[in-house]
Amino acid sequence: MGRLFWKIFLAFWLALVVAAVSTGTVVWLQHGAADAAPKEFVAGPRGGMDMAAAMLRDDGVEALRGWMQHRRHPAPIYVVDEAGRDVLGRPVPEAARARAREIVRRRGESFRARSVVSPGGERYLLFAPPMPGMRLPPRPLLQPWQLIAIGLLTSLVFSAALAWYLARPIRSLRSAFDGVAAGRLETRVSPKIGSRRDEIADLGRDFDRMAGRLQSLIDAQRRLLHDVSHELRSPLARLHAAIGLARQDPQKLEPSFERIEREAARLDELVGEVLTLARLEGGTASGPEETVDLADLVADIAEDARFEAQAAGREVALDSAEQVLVRGRAELLHRAVENVVRNAVKHTLPGTTVEMKLSSAGGRALLGVVDRGPGIAPGEAERIFEPFYRGAAAPGGFGLGLAIAQRAVVAHGGTIRAENAEGGGLRVEIELPLAKVAEARA
């Protein structure tokens, strides 16, 4: 059961306990006061008064007189007619009689005094004055309706506090959802929720992560559109220039066609890389998953890169394990490794060697690619994996190769990082999880 359940449970339980304890305390105090009264007062006059009133009402004054003459209780009961005479002829305490008449007038019947009509139609006043040393029970502190009101008020206070405690962050969440729906992606709800530690706070933090992710994706999309439009503008401008030259001088058609062909190929490459990047960022990369021997894949890429590098006076050296099996999409893995290696070949200095090393350890495949180029400036280790970012030391290209490699590696559960190598150049390290035994046999 969650923490929110216990908060609700304990709050309601506490409200009931407080109300019950308050009511029980008052009742206990009243009963304690009643218990402190002499037993003769509690048991004697009340029971005797009821019996005397019933006998007088049903059997008449003679029967009552006989019963009272044989009664042995120390608490006396006086039965006085309208003339003020007691039926047993005893002297009547005038103060007690006046008090009894006042009680009857105000309350009607009481265990201390009441008015009864005999079968003969005479009216008698029955009362039991307190005996010397006997004290009356105190008046109840609270009436029953007051006790009920206290219980209801207590429950109302606790329930209102609980409702406010639960409703306040929910209202904040609702306001935050409305803000995001209105396009205010910078909206966050954690500052309003505060230091809560329950499911509502978890929901608020999840909302903030969602809003942050949406904001980063929208911002990345905007940057991508801006960068793509900027990158497309240059080849399109050169295409227009080549077409203009061809129209002005028909003798230059062949050079113009060659320029148009190069720019069209450049545009095709740019569009292809943008589409690949979009699929990777959207999680819709094509191709089935399979077991890939990374050693064979890296060897093929090294061979192709070596052919390209030798034409520019560079070399590519590979130190690879015999077999390194990973699980993933072969095309994407090939694209990721190829982009890293081609980037290294492009930036390593003439007469130097791009070093590649593939190994495995701790359930991970490790591929390191080191060039001997200018390296990267401080603070660029993360930025070189951003789309369309080109470092100060390497302004050429589209700036998409390493971005595609990074997203392809992450899509396969791996990591990629870059740092300046000892002795100059750039080191790029790729880690990928090895295929499990069952997956490798599939």
Residue pLDDT tens, the chain, 442 long: 456 566 776 777 787 777 777 777 776 666 555 444 443 333 345 567 888 888 888 888 888 888 888 877 666 888 988 888 888 888 988 888 888 888 888 877 766 788 888 888 889 988 888 765 555 555 566 666 777 778 778 877 777 777 777 777 888 888 888 888 888 888 888 888 777 777 888 888 888 888 888 887 788 777 777 767 766 776 788 788 888 877 887 777 788 888 888 888 878 877 777 777 777 776 666 667 899 999 999 999 999 999 989 988 999 999 998 899 999 989 889 989 999 999 999 999 999 999 999 999 999 999 999 999 998 888 888 888 887 777 666 556 667 888 889 988 998 999 999 999 988 999 999 999 998 865 555 5
Cα(first)–Cα(last) distance of the chain, in Å?
Answer: 41
Tally the C-alpha atoms within 13 A of residue 253's C-alpha that lie toward its C-beta.
Answer: 3
Angle CA(407)–CA(336)–CA(263) in degrees, nearest 5? 100
Identify residue 351 by its one-letter amino acid code.
G
- The answer to whether 193 touches 200, Cβ cutoff 8 Å, is yes
Identify residue 213 by its one-letter amino acid code.
R
Which of 418, 430, 434, 322 lies closest to 373, judged by CA? 418
- The answer to whether 75 touches 45, Cβ cutoff 8 Å, is yes
Residue 240 annotated among the catalytic residues of the structure: no
Of 226, 230, 240, 334, catalytic: 230
Tally the C-alpha atoms within 13 A of residue 422's C-alpha that lie toward its C-beta.
Answer: 0
Which strand (E) or helix (H) includes residue 360? strand 353-361
Say what the pTM is.
0.51
Which domains, from first to last, does the chain contain?
Answer: 185-284 (1.10.287.130), 290-441 (3.30.565.10)
Phi, psi angle pair for 78, to nearest 5°: -100, 135
